[in-house]
Chains A and B, each alone.
Chain A
Amino acid sequence: MAYGLSEGTLAVSPMLQFSQVSFSYQQRSILKDFSLQIDKGEFVSVIGPSGVGKSTLFHLANGLLQPDAGQIMLGDNGESNLLGKVGYMPQKDLLLPWRTVLENAALPLEIKGMKQEAAYRQVREQLPIFGLEGWADAYPEQLSGGMRQRVSLLRATLTGSQLLLLDEPFSALDGITKMEMQEWLLSLWRQLGITVLLITHDIEEAILLADRVLVLKAAPVQEAVEVPVSLGRPREGRLRYDPAFLAIREQIWDILTDAINAAGERGRRA
């Protein structure tokens, strides 16, 4: 079954819902009557060609942008003011260079008005889980790319939100570090019982991590093509050579190639 943690332990209930959302940026329609539901505890990947509006989707989900029409709701009670309620990890790690690992990670707690001492205590408790034990007082510049991403992710989880939006978190990492980070992210997801929505350019990554993959074909997006990933969990890196994995990979590849060819057609006609 496709639902990770939620399977058997929790009743399926929505974490994030887009209903009939439309959004345009500079007169270019990006989403049109777009609907989407992410359930609690799910791990969902979003993939699509550059410029299709993946980041826009995230900025709508974290409250930075407001839809022109339609509704975006968080959780059961239909929360609609989303700023401060969703854990967001941007593509760049965006660590503040003048703050240590400890101070960077404590930022969301500080913003919520927590006392510094309590905030630091909470960060220190989390450091080992994120492989950052002993690095509390290091500055971002002293860290490797993988470690910086882990600090950034720690900071996102400390917003206290049950929903994490990860925007190509590993795209700047080398292949080996990337594989380590993927397995580690999966174990973190299991441990924390959170819901994750992940943008990626990497088909393998999208499949390996997620319960289902949403493929965005071309703007304006009306509907995401949904590809369920019916592979068991826990998953390991080796899974990427499994025939079932390869079949899903081919399926997504075909959808993307279609989308790119169609876009090319439109380009030639225009």
Chain B
Amino acid sequence: MYYRTMSLQQLYQLLLEHPQKGFQIVVERYQKPLLSYITYKSFFAGNVEDVFQETMYRAYKNISSLKNPERMYAWLCGIALNVIREYGRRHHLHLPLREELLETSRPPEVTSDIATKISLLPEMYQQVVVLKYLDGYSYKEISDLLRIHISTVRSRLFEARKILRNTMEGEQ
């Protein structure tokens, strides 16, 4: 029970002393939001399992390189993003070709226009939108996860929605 409620600093200490035990707690804590993030980011490529496994492996291997434990979730997301990019490069799925990929690989009803619009948002807005809509987290939970203030979460969501609404209205 103690392991579940321990602070990030304590978790970091545990990671340094007992990497395997510490990493199990990291997985318990961040598996759900990380999986959501990868599912969203791999929407166009559909390689969620590979990316998730590779992210976990790299995180486990390089856990000692984590400098700021407060930014653990952001660090994991960064690894996942790098893995997705590498995968894209290896399979020639460059980011500018996303829209083409969207048109060609999926049926039209699934190729939601909104997916491309969200992917054009700044990364910090995307993270908040994914946590809010895909995981259904509250403002408090998002702020705990991203280590930002609740008002920042609220303003980021607001900004993201404003951008999305404006782009949609601009098209109409």
Q: Do A and B assemble together? A: no
